Structure 1
Amino acid sequence: MRVLATKKSKLIPRIGRPVVLEDQKIAIFQVSDGRIFAIEDYCPLTNAPVLEGIVSGEYLYEPMREYKISLVDGVIQEPDEGQLKVYPVEVIDDDIFVEV
């Protein structure tokens, strides 16, 4: 199901925006080149939100531990392991829709 998540004009590049869609906590990020990603706002390694992570390129650096998560596919990069759920995003004008 595609749900209106937020407005593109409300995003700050490289800063996460929290949304709750269908009882799922999701973090939405706009990277430096303008692409927008939606990823679950929960890290399986720290049992904590990832919303406050630092974005560089298409990676989210988790602040509680020194590892990075791909915003493209949710994979936690080596030497750590794990994966977060990513959600398909569609932008129409100023509206950001997320498939949940």
Structure 2
Amino acid sequence: MNWVDIGALDDIPQRGARVVKTAMGCVAVFRTRDDQVFATSDRCPHKGGPLSEGIVHGHKVTCPLHNWVFSLETGEAEGADEGQISTYSARVQDGRVYLDATELMKRSAA
């Protein structure tokens, strides 16, 4: 894996997100209440809602437009909703957040 430092963990509020702009499109980086970090595509497959502006609860995010709920771990929609968002490897080391640049390069353009 080719890890790239995207900033300090403390720059992402608990139960919040930040957007990382890449050459291939935007990635939402979420921080949960228990300080775990997840990275997903930033667009809901339903209506294109910005997931980085959604509500983080547990290890899930709710789309701000139509309340679709996605697992931050698997990207799968929950409940009666169908769909999936892309997920990317993320880690925290020494208070810094890292994403796998190799995975990001493989994603289709947003």
Does TM, scored on the shorter chain, surpass 0.5? yes
- What's the % identity of the aligned pairs? 29
User: Partners in 2 of 1:72 and 1:57 — Cα distance?
Assistant: 11
SS of 1:73's equivalent?
coil
What RMSD in Å do the two structures reach over aligned CA positions?
1.3
SS of 2:10's equivalent?
helix
Q: Give unpaired runs (5+ residues) of structure 1.
A: none
SS of 2:73's equivalent?
coil
2:108 — aligned with what?
Answer: none
| Greater mean deviation of Cα atoms: 21-30 or 78-87 | 21-30
Report the count of equivalent residues.
100
Report the AA paired with residue 27 of structure 2. I
Cα distance per residue 1:17-54 (max 9 Å; x no partner): 11113433011111111111111101110123211100
User: Partners in 2 of 1:48 and 1:62 — Cα distance?
Assistant: 6
TM-score normalised by length of structure 1: 0.90
Cα distance per residue 1:55-92 (max 9 Å; x no partner): 11111011211220101111111201111011111211
TM-score normalised by length of structure 2: 0.83
User: Partners in 2 of 1:84 and 1:45 — Cα distance?
Assistant: 10
1:82 — aligned with what?
Answer: 83
Report the AA paired with residue 67 of structure 1. W
2:39 — aligned with what?
Answer: 38
Per residue, is there more strand in 1 or in 2? 1
